[in-house]
A and B are shown apart, each in its own frame.
Chain A
Amino acid sequence: MLPTGQRLREYDIAAVEREIEVAPGVFYPAWTYNGQVPGPTIRVTEGDRIRIRFTNQGTHPHTLHFHGIHGARQDGIPGVMEAAPGQTVTYEFDAKPFGCHLYHCHSVPFKRHLHKGLYGAFIVDPDPQRHPDQVDVARSRLLGSSENQRWQELLMVMNAFDTNFDEENEVYAVNSISHAYMKQPIRIERDRPVRVYLINVTEFDPINSFHLHANFFNYYDHGTTLTPTSRTVDTVMLCQGQRGIIECSFADFEPGLYMFHAHQAEFAELGWMSAFEVVA
């Protein structure tokens, strides 16, 4: 807690060069935040103060560029808060607006810094006190609240890898590993609602999409509203950097496998294919 009563959240993030296995036997020379792709999820509450010590352990300059509201001096672009190899810079700003956001490196060459793996989720939960008209909805989104406990929350970063650097992706996935959730479906208890924080960071392909089988969902584009921006849809299309929140329910559904995948069949068959295993 800061003297102002504001909650301070501190993080240490390092840019690390590391090989990751993106498909069985396929190793990709990634640039990562803290050794993982996507990078560590930063989840805070609206209005929190965020302080991140960012250390560049790589061989190229890197930044942290947040999708959020902040001053120009915290923007994390070439020449502004860019960490040279071996250098540490500290970002500090307030978390706003609430929603499902992302952060990524903004150094040049921009495309390469993105598709090499420098991105992660930045989720800002709504502060129920600031939304008196929709306190219950806001509380259901607030991590740690009793209303939130009921929800089965998932983070899905739609990404892809260009393994031969010809500006075309060879491997597609959610959360980096192709077909991972097809081979090991995500277990869903049918009586608890499902919330997916969905972020598209796919490079080279202008759009990506999320399609759910045998069910429909409500969608909150950017997650910056407490009422859905699309109701009762089974497919959403996201451009590069776009994201949103999906809410659905399998209550009273027949137990079994319910697939979800990109509805670009090409992406699906190159790895962005997954399934929920709904259990009673």
Chain B
Amino acid sequence: MKALPWRWVLPPLLLAGLAALLLTLSPARLLNLNAPPLESLIVERTVLNDQGITLKVRAEGSAPMTIAQVQVDGAYWAFTQQPPDPIRRLATATVQIPYPWVEGEAHHVQFLTNTGVVVAHPIDVALPTPALSLATLLGYGWLGLYVGLVPVGLGMLCYPYLKVLGQRGLTFVLTLTLGMLAFLLVDTLQEGLELAGKAAAAFQGQALVWFAATVACLALFAVGRRQGKPPEGTALSTYMALGIGLHNLGEGLAIGTAFALGEIALGSFLVIGFTLHNLTEGLGIVAPLLRKQKLRWQTCVALAALAGLPAVIGLWVGAFAFSPHWAALFLGIGAGAILQVIIELGTYLQRQLHLSRLSGLAGLSLAGFTTGLLVMYSTALLVKF
């Protein structure tokens, strides 16, 4: 038997030795640093009901944290915590405060830790949190259909209008779709990065968004081209529907949480705004199908569902089970999926123009792209809050 080669054993041995050394010697002590443990707490979910205020908190201190006291509006209140032990790093606990909050008004919650550190959590507008029930599920479900499925479906129904277009018209529609997708990419990234800021710092939410986007884009790219050629026709539409669906999931999340937190008022104006805003998405999904001779209605329904139904899921999750880091992760994936579609649609368009020997359409393409951006931007004016 050969002697165990030292070069295999040395690295793990040295690493273990170093860790042991650091743990026993604690080199920070050499610097005479005696800093108190870092204490930080974020509130991931706020529930207001007739029992008072319930907050799901996540600790991100360097040592287990103890919530010693809770103030609401500058007054100490009795509270219960589940589980009652000190909250370990990245663990969560539920804090219940029997505070008679006032509907429509602002309240200020402050946690006082056992070392005297104060962590503030403002509640801008107190409104009863929708309780999970069949009625509220249905209500949010309907809203999701209006925001997602209905506009996407309506947009797809424009297929016959688009079918009669010539090559120039088709180019315009495809570049318009590219513009729409560019808007969605920026919008999804922005939404994701914003949510990332609300997550515990240890989760590195912003990096999560970028990494998820990159990996999702590359993975979809690999899957889409696994047979050696880029997706076209129904396949391209499917990827588009997936990307748009993930964006609509994010949109649903945003609306669901905003409604639950009372940040936006549920008005018919807003719902109409979302319908108009998402109409263009349906238009984009059918654009790659325009060259096909026959389109099966089942395909259309499946594409509409893929693009539109995630809004329903987003609304449910946003209203009833929201966590900012998970939301940031999903929005990152959504951004990656949209980027993949932009690349595939862009190269498809390039091939088309090359095949038809159509050049000199730069002006038309630019017009289409800009129109797509403008339509999305101007309809977003109705729904951004």
Q: A residues within 8 Å of B by Cβ?
A: 29, 60-61, 108-112, 164-167
Q: Determine if A110 and B100 form an interchain contact, defined as CB atoms under 8 angstroms apart.
A: no
State whether A112 and B102 are in contact (beta carbons under 8 Å apart), knowing that A167-B73, A167-B74 are contacts in the complex.
Answer: yes
Select one of A29, A61, A110, A167 contacting B108, CB under 8 A.
A167
Contact A29–B100 (Cβ < 8 Å): no
Residue B89 interfacial (CB < 8 Å): no
Contact indicator B100/A109 (Cβ below 8 Å): yes
Which residues of the other chain, B, contact A165 by a CB distance below 8 angstroms? Answer: 73, 105-107
Q: Is the Cβ of B106 less than 8 Å from the Cβ of A112? A: no
Sample of 7 more A-B contacts, CB < 8 Å, known A110-B75, A111-B75, A167-B74:
A60-B102, A61-B100, A109-B99, A109-B100, A165-B106, A166-B108, A167-B73
A29–B100 alpha-carbon span in the complex (Å): 16
Q: How far is the CA of A269 from the CA of B75 in the complex (A)?
A: 29
Query: Which chain B residues have a beta carbon within 8 Å of chain A's beta carbons?
Result: 72-75, 99-100, 102, 104-108
* Chain B residues whose CB sits within 8 angstroms of the CB of A167 once the complex forms: 73-74, 108
Give Cα A165 to B122, complex, Å.
Answer: 11
Show 22 residue pairs from A and B whose CB-CB distance is below 8 angstroms, ordered by the A residue.
Answer: A29-B104, A29-B105, A60-B100, A60-B102, A61-B100, A108-B75, A108-B100, A109-B73, A109-B99, A109-B100, A110-B75, A111-B73, A111-B74, A111-B75, A112-B73, A165-B73, A165-B105, A165-B106, A165-B107, A166-B108, A167-B74, A167-B108
Name which of B72, B74, B104 has the most chain A CB atoms within 10 A of its CB: B74
Which chain A residues lie closer than 8 Å to B72 at the CB level?
109
Q: Which residues in B have their C-beta under 8 angstroms from that of A109?
A: 72-73, 75, 99-100
Chain B contact residues, majority secondary structure: loop
Q: How far is the CB of A32 from chain B (nearest CB, A)?
A: 14
By a CB distance below 8 angstroms, the chain B residues around A111 are 73-75
Complex Cα spacing A112 to B105, Å:
11
Query: Nearest Cβ in chain B — how far from A68, in angstroms?
Result: 25
- What's the nearest-Cβ distance from chain A to residue B52, in Å? 11
Q: Which 4 A-B pairs have the closest CB atoms?
A: A165-B106, A165-B105, A109-B75, A109-B73
**Would A166 and B106 be within 8 Å (CB), given that A60-B100, A109-B99, A109-B100 are in contact?**
yes
Q: Which residue of A lies closest to B102 (CB)?
A: A112
What residues of chain B lie closer than 8 Å to A29, measured between beta carbons? 104-105
Cβ–Cβ < 8 Å partners of B108 in chain A: 166-167
Q: Which residue of B is nearest A167, CB measured?
A: B74
Least Cβ–Cβ distance between B129 and chain A, in angstroms: 18
Cβ contact within 8 Å between A164 and B74 = no
Task: Please name the residue on chain B nearest to A110 by beta carbon.
Answer: B75
How far apart sit A111 and B99, CA to CA, in the bound complex (Å)?
13
How far does the alpha carbon of A167 sit from the alpha carbon of B104 in the complex, in Å?
16
- For residue A116, which residue of chain B has the nearest CB? B102
Closest B residue by C-beta to A61? B100
Complex: A108 Cα to B99 Cα, angstroms: 9
B72's nearest neighbour on chain A, judged by CB, is: A109
A60, closest chain B residue (CB): B100
The residue on B at minimum CB distance from A29 is B104
Nearest residue, chain B, Cβ from A17: B102
A153 vs B342: C-alpha distance when bound (angstroms): 79
| Nearest-CB residue, chain A, relative to B123 | A165
How far is B75's CA from A146's CA once the two chains are assembled, in angstroms?
A: 49
A60 to B103, CA, bound (A): 11
Residues of chain B contacted by A112 (CB below 8 angstroms)? 73, 102
Distance of B104 from chain A, by nearest CB (Å) = 7
Query: CB-nearest residue of chain A relative to B74?
Result: A167
**Closest Cβ–Cβ distance, residue B99 to chain A (whole Å):** 7
A111 to B106, CA, bound (A): 14
Minimum CB distance partner of A166 in chain B: B106
